[in-house]
Amino acid sequence: MHKNLTLGDLQDYELLDSGDQLKLERFGSYVLGRPETQAIWRPGLERKDWERANAVFKATNDKFGHSRPRSDVPDKWMLHSKMPEKWLMHHKKLAFYAKLAPFKHTGVFPEQAVQWDWMSELIKKSKREVNVLNLFAYTGIATLACAEAGAKVTHVDSSYPAIGWAKANQIASKLQDKPIRWIEDDVVRFVSREINRGAKYDAIIMDPPVRGHGANGEVWSFNDSFPQLVADCAKLLSDNPLFFLVNAYAVSFYPSTLENILMDHLPDENFECGEICIKEKSLGRMLSTGIYARWTGK
């Protein structure tokens, strides 16, 4: 079933405007300008509103980052006012840090709040112990959403700094007593070892990148690696699985591609796929931020 998801109210985030291949966002108390290649329409706000941004990520040589790239101009954040190294954001009972990370990221993907809530509700409604595997888990907000709902979580990412960031988010959310296993490892290699160990999980989450490298130089390519990873992860599902969720960004596929791959390995029922969108504040237009596919057990 195709169903687009739209970010609802999020306490500490707003998409203020978009256009000219840019987006203007509020993360907590700070307004950021970032590139957005899909936003080829005209901005809704005036230029002076955009110029009030606390920081702008410049991928090119012009003021807002939308002219042609030049090799002699590095990608970087340009500060227009003083900002802290990191600051807290909140969603319901969760707290997590945002900061100006490389490659235009902040460590927070606010559109994923619809998935955090979906997973949390399924875990709470199951009224049983749920063992969750979170792959490519980054700064761990999905991990914390599942843990807060009562699940045991295995959090896997190949980046040591990302895991450190996720642990800081755990402390900020006051979830230190929750059963979270932090694993710094290549995802494909970890899953293979878990199969050999006979490990089982009731739920699996993954946010695979288009390309990447593991802790020991392993190469990840979405097109080549993703279908086999799903096949391997299906072997890790328990006899009473709760859900399987895939989010994807910057891939040249339709949501149905993700769904079809899940359907290769999971019972042919309870599938859903679509885009994840954010509604902007200025003119109410929808900005698609990625695609997803998910499956729920009986």
Give domain status of residue 99, yes or no: no
Q: Are strands 203-206 and 180-184 parallel, antiparallel or unpaired?
A: unpaired
Whole-angstrom distance, CA of residue 20 vs CA of residue 38: 9
Give domain status of residue 104, yes or no: no
Give domain status of residue 101, yes or no: no
Q: What is the number of structural domains in the chain?
A: 2
Backbone torsions φ then ψ of 289, nearest 5 degrees: -110, -10
- The CATH number of whichever domain residue 55 belongs to comes to 2.60.40.1180
The pLDDT value recorded for residue 1 is 77
Mean pLDDT along residues 260-282: 93
Domain-terminating residue out of 61, 90, 119: 90
In angstroms and rounded to an integer, the radius of gyration of the C-alpha atoms of the chain is 19
Residues 292 and 165 in one domain: yes
The pLDDT value recorded for residue 64 is 46
Residues 24 and 128 in one domain: no
Mean pLDDT along residues 66-92: 78
Residues 86 and 129 in one domain: no
Residues 85 and 191 in one domain: no
Look up the domain containing 24 and give its range. 10-90
Q: What is the mean pLDDT of the chain?
A: 91
223 or 283, higher pLDDT: 283
Ranking 17-26, 52-61, 63-72, 213-222 by mean pLDDT, the lowest is 63-72
Give domain status of residue 23, yes or no: yes
Backbone torsions φ then ψ of 55, nearest 5 degrees: -155, 150
What digits encode the pLDDT tens for the residues 136-183?
A: 999 999 999 999 999 999 999 999 999 999 999 999 999 999 999 999
Give domain status of residue 182, yes or no: yes
Give percent of the chain above pLDDT 90: 80
Whole-angstrom distance, CA of residue 20 vs CA of residue 185: 39
Residues 40 and 84 in one domain: yes
pLDDT of 60 above 70? no
Mean pLDDT along residues 116-124: 97
The pLDDT value recorded for residue 214 is 61
DSSP state of 163: H
Mean pLDDT along residues 4-32: 92
Give domain status of residue 139, yes or no: yes
46 or 74, higher pLDDT: 46
Residues 162 and 75 in one domain: no
Q: Could you give the 3-state DSSP secondary structure of residue 227? A: helix
Residues 78 and 125 in one domain: no
Residues 184 and 64 in one domain: no
Give domain status of residue 98, yes or no: no
Distances 184 to 69, 163, 167, 284 between C-alpha atoms, Å? 34, 7, 12, 40
Residues 270 and 194 in one domain: yes
Ranking 2-16, 88-102, 131-145 by mean pLDDT, the lowest is 2-16
Beta bridge partners of 24: 17, 33
Q: What's the pLDDT band for 253 if we cut at 50, 70, 90?
A: confident
Domain-terminating residue out of 90, 121, 141: 90
Residues 23 and 159 in one domain: no
Residues 139 and 76 in one domain: no
Whole-angstrom distance, CA of residue 130 vs CA of residue 165: 24
Domain-terminating residue out of 37, 62, 90: 90
Q: What's the pLDDT band for 67 if we cut at 50, 70, 90?
A: very low
Residues 86 and 49 in one domain: yes
Mean pLDDT along residues 180-190: 95
Whole-angstrom distance, CA of residue 271 vs CA of residue 243: 10
Query: Do residues 291 and 255 make contact, with C-beta atoms less than 8 angstroms apart?
Result: yes
pLDDT of 71 above 60? no
- The CATH number of whichever domain residue 205 belongs to comes to 3.40.50.150
The pLDDT value recorded for residue 84 is 96
Give domain status of residue 103, yes or no: no
Tell me the two tokens of residue 243. Answer: 């859900």
Mean pLDDT along residues 169-198: 97
Place of tokens 């859900």: 243
Element (H, E) at 50: helix 47-50
Q: What's the pLDDT band for 298 if we cut at 50, 70, 90?
A: confident
